[in-house]
Amino acid sequence: GAGVSQSPSNKVTEKGKDVELRCDPISGHTALYWYRQSLGQGLEFLIYFQGNSAPDKSGLPSDRFSAERTGGSVSTLTIQRTQQEDSAVYLCASSLVQGSNQPQHFGDGTRLSIL
Amino acid sequence: RKEVEQDPGPFNVPEGATVAFNCTYSNSASQSFFWYRQDCRKEPKLLMSVYSSGNEDGRFTAQLNRASQYISLLIRDSKLSDSATYLCVVYNAGNMLTFGGGTRLMVKP
């Protein structure tokens, strides 16, 4: 399809395991964003990429979270040693370029549940 | 104080009613403003951008008041399909979007 694609759509894992979430942005979109949304809460910004570069990593909740993007396309968000408070929907969005007037298009999200 | 604040609702209105939501933001340097719509357990989708002069898209009207730092969304002749959570979104100079917690709208027959 032409939209933002995220995988897996659902992930259930045990506390302490590492997880890797994938985002495939809309073709040609240079900016990519990661957010998370806890149950009944608003969206929390995590990190964004312009190309392969992430200028601001301050939104990542802890050093257990990391993200990378290679080839200016697919991005992975990795959570190490998962904790129960990491349970949330992780949403990825992309925009044509990074800028104030650029709408972001969201993927369906990965629903992460930590047991 | 949250950067972007919204009344969580829910706003329960009958079909055909007019309903308005407000959103306040704390960063006076905020550059751009948007309303997103999020259906239950779905991803947010852009509803409309908010321009300084105000803008209208069909039954939806968005307005920005920079002096008072608030944004509004007006929905006229509400439909059952308008039931959703409406997210106020602000773009700051730090190059990120900040989302409000959302206002839940329920349109009843």
> Is B95 in CB contact (< 8 Å) with chain A?
yes
**Shortest CA distance from B47: residue in chain A:** A103
- Look at residues A97, A114, A75, A102 and name the one whose alpha carbon lies nearest to residue A29: A97
B43, B57, B88: best to mutate for the A interface, most A CBs within 10 A: B43
Q: Measure in Å the smallest separation between the Cα of B9 and chain A Cα atoms.
A: 12
> Is B55 in CB contact (< 8 Å) with chain A?
no
pLDDT band at A103 (very low <50, low <70, confident <90, very high): confident
A107 and A95 in contact (C-beta within 8 Å)? Answer: no
What pLDDT, in 10s, does the model give residues B61-104? Answer: 999 999 999 999 999 999 999 999 999 999 876 557 888 999 99
What pLDDT, in 10s, does the model give residues A19-71? Answer: 999 999 999 898 899 999 987 777 888 998 988 888 878 889 999 999 999 88
Is residue A12 scored above 60 in pLDDT? yes
State residue B93's pLDDT score.
64
Q: Which two tokens stand for residue B9?
A: 């609702």
Q: Which residues contact B70 (CB under 8 A, 6 or more apart)?
A: B22, B23, B24, B25, B64
- Rounded-to-integer distance, Cα B13 and Cα B105, Å: 8
Residue A69 burial by Cβ neighbours in a 10 Å radius (0-12, 13-18, 19+): buried
Give the nearest partner residue to B46 out of A44, A55, A103, using CB atoms. A103
Q: How many CB pairs under 8 A join A and B?
A: 45
Give the nearest partner residue to A104 out of B94, B97, B101, using CB atoms. B97
CB contact under 8 A, B43 and A109: yes
- Rounded-to-integer distance, Cα B56 and Cα B83, Å: 19
State residue B1's pLDDT score.
66
Is residue A85 scored above 70 in pLDDT? yes
> Is B34 in CB contact (< 8 Å) with chain A?
yes
Give the nearest partner residue to B97 out of A45, A56, A105, using CB atoms. A45
Residue count of chain B, please give it.
109
**Shortest CA distance from B98: residue in chain A:** A45
Cβ contacts (< 8 Å) between B87 and chain A: which residues?
Answer: 42-43
State residue B24's pLDDT score.
96
- Cα-based distances in Å from B52 to A32, B62, B71: 27, 9, 10
Average of per-residue pLDDT values in chain A: 90
Asked if the peptide bond before residue A8 counts as cis, ω within 30 degrees of 0, the response is yes
DSSP state of A4: -
A34 and A75 in contact (C-beta within 8 Å)? Answer: yes
> Is B101 in CB contact (< 8 Å) with chain A?
yes
Handedness of CA B41, A50, A104, A23 (dihedral sign): negative
A75 and A25 in contact (C-beta within 8 Å)? Answer: yes
Q: Measure in Å the smallest separation between the Cα of B17 and chain A Cα atoms.
A: 26
- Rounded-to-integer distance, Cα A41 and Cα A34, Å: 16
**Shortest CA distance from A92: residue in chain B:** B43
What pLDDT, in 10s, does the model give residues B16-56? Answer: 999 999 999 998 888 889 999 999 888 889 899 898 888 99
Q: Phi/psi at A114 (nearest 5 deg)? A: -105, 120
Percent of chain A topping pLDDT 70? 96
